[in-house]
A and B are shown apart, each in its own frame.
Chain A
Amino acid sequence: MMRYVMTLLAALMLWTHPAAAQNGPLRLELTEGVIEPLPFAVPEFVSDDSAGAELGRRIAEVVAADLTGTGLFREIPQDAFISRVTSFSSPVQFADWKAINAQALVTGAVTMDSSGKLVVRFRLYDVFAGQELGDGLQLVGTQDGWRRIAHKVADQVYSRITGEAPYFDSRVVFVSESGPKDQRAKRLAIMDYDGANVSYLTGSSSIVLAPRFSPNGDRILYTSYESGFPRIYVMDVGSAQRRALEQQEGSMSFAPRFAPDGRTVVYSMTRGGNTDLYSMDINSGAGTRLTTAPSIETAPSFSPDGSRIVFESDRSGNQQLYVMPAGGGEAQRISFGQGRYGTPVWSPRGDLIAFTKQSKGRFHIGVMRVDGSEERLLTASFLEEGPTWSPNGRVIMFTRETQGAQGSASLYSVDITGRNLREVPTGTGASDPSWSPLQD
Chain B
Amino acid sequence: MNYLSKTILLCAGMALAACSNPDRFADGSGGAGGMYNGAGAGMAGSAQDPASPVYFQQTVGDRVLFAVDQSTLSSEAQATLNGQAQWLMTNSDYSAVIEGHADEQGTREYNLALGARRANSVHEYLVSRGVAGNRLKVVSYGKERPIELCADEACYSKNRRAVTVISAVPSS
Query: What would 18 A/B residue contacts be, using CB atoms closer than 8 Å?
Result: A180-B149, A182-B22, A182-B147, A184-B28, A184-B144, A210-B108, A229-B137, A252-B112, A270-B113, A273-B71, A273-B123, A275-B112, A275-B116, A275-B117, A319-B107, A343-B109, A358-B106, A405-B150
From B69, B105, B112, B137, A298 is in contact (CB under 8 Å) with B112
Interface residues of B in 84-123 (CB under 8 A from A): 97, 104-110, 112-114, 116-117, 119-121, 123
Cα-based distance from A17 to B56 in the complex (angstroms): 104
B162 to chain A, nearest CB (A): 11
Q: Mark A153-187, 1 if CB is under 8 A from B, else 0.
A: 00000000000000000000000001111111100
Q: Mark A352-370, 1 if CB is under 8 A from B, else 0.
A: 0000101001000000000
From A178, A229, A298, A403, B109 is in contact (CB under 8 Å) with A298
Closest 10 CB pairs of A and B: A273-B120, A403-B151, A185-B28, A405-B149, A275-B113, A342-B107, A296-B113, A270-B116, A179-B28, A298-B109
| Contacting residues, chain A, for B71 (C-beta < 8 A) | 273
**Segment among A56-64, A86-94, A379-387 that sits at the interface with chain B:** A379-387
Interface residues of A in 242-296 (CB under 8 A from B): 250, 252, 254-255, 268, 270, 272-275, 296
Cβ–Cβ contact A204 & B28, under 8 A: yes
Cα-based distance from A226 to B139 in the complex (angstroms): 13
From A183, A250, A273, B31 is in contact (CB under 8 Å) with A183
A378 to chain B, nearest CB (A): 16
Nearest opposing residue in chain A for B34, CB measure: A228
Cβ–Cβ contact A272 & B149, under 8 A: no
From B27, B106, B147, A205 is in contact (CB under 8 Å) with B27
Cβ–Cβ contact B139 & A228, under 8 A: yes
Cβ–Cβ contact A270 & B109, under 8 A: no
Given contacts A182-B149, A185-B27, A185-B28, contact A319 B110 (CB under 8 A): yes
Given contacts A270-B140, A342-B107, contact A228 B35 (CB under 8 A): yes
A198 to chain B, nearest CB (A): 19
Cα-based distance from A229 to B63 in the complex (angstroms): 19
Given contacts A273-B117, A403-B151, contact A230 B25 (CB under 8 A): no
Cβ–Cβ contact A299 & B110, under 8 A: yes
Cβ–Cβ contact A296 & B114, under 8 A: yes
Cβ–Cβ contact A407 & B151, under 8 A: yes
Instruction: Say yes or no for A238: interface residue by CB 8 A criterion.
Output: no
Instruction: Say yes or no for A411: interface residue by CB 8 A criterion.
Output: no
B84 to chain A, nearest CB (A): 18
Cβ–Cβ contact A356 & B27, under 8 A: no
Cα-based distance from A183 to B147 in the complex (angstroms): 9
Instruction: Say yes or no for A207: interface residue by CB 8 A criterion.
Output: yes
Task: Please give the residue numbers on chain A whose beta carbons come within 8 Å of chain B beta carbons, in ascending order.
Answer: 178-185, 204-205, 207, 209-210, 228-230, 250, 252, 254-255, 268, 270, 272-275, 296, 298-299, 312, 314, 318-319, 340, 342-343, 356, 358, 361, 382-383, 385-386, 401, 403-405, 407, 432
Cβ–Cβ contact B35 & A404, under 8 A: no
Cβ–Cβ contact B108 & A432, under 8 A: yes
| Contacting residues, chain B, for A407 (C-beta < 8 A) | 149, 151
Instruction: Say yes or no for B26: interface residue by CB 8 A criterion.
Output: yes
Instruction: Say yes or no for B146: interface residue by CB 8 A criterion.
Output: yes
| Contacting residues, chain B, for A361 (C-beta < 8 A) | 105
Cα-based distance from A275 to B110 in the complex (angstroms): 9
Interface residues of B in 126-140 (CB under 8 A from A): 137-140
Cα-based distance from A310 to B124 in the complex (angstroms): 31
Cβ–Cβ contact B26 & A298, under 8 A: no
Given contacts A230-B139, A356-B107, contact A254 B112 (CB under 8 A): yes
B77 to chain A, nearest CB (A): 15
A118 to chain B, nearest CB (A): 40
Nearest opposing residue in chain A for B100, CB measure: A273
Cβ–Cβ contact A255 & B145, under 8 A: no
Instruction: Say yes or no for B18: interface residue by CB 8 A criterion.
Output: yes
Cβ–Cβ contact A205 & B109, under 8 A: no
Cβ–Cβ contact A252 & B146, under 8 A: no
From A183, A228, A358, B18 is in contact (CB under 8 Å) with A183
Cβ–Cβ contact A182 & B120, under 8 A: no
Cβ–Cβ contact A178 & B28, under 8 A: yes
| Contacting residues, chain A, for B139 (C-beta < 8 A) | 228-230, 252
Cα-based distance from A175 to B66 in the complex (angstroms): 29
From A207, A209, A273, A386, B116 is in contact (CB under 8 Å) with A273
Nearest opposing residue in chain A for B123, CB measure: A273
A105 to chain B, nearest CB (A): 45
Cβ–Cβ contact A342 & B109, under 8 A: yes
| Contacting residues, chain A, for B138 (C-beta < 8 A) | 252, 273
Cα-based distance from A342 to B145 in the complex (angstroms): 21
Q: A207-B25, A407-B149 are in contact. List 17 more A-B contacts (CB 8 A).
A: A183-B25, A184-B28, A229-B139, A252-B112, A254-B112, A273-B124, A275-B113, A298-B109, A298-B110, A312-B109, A319-B107, A342-B109, A343-B109, A358-B105, A358-B107, A386-B107, A404-B149
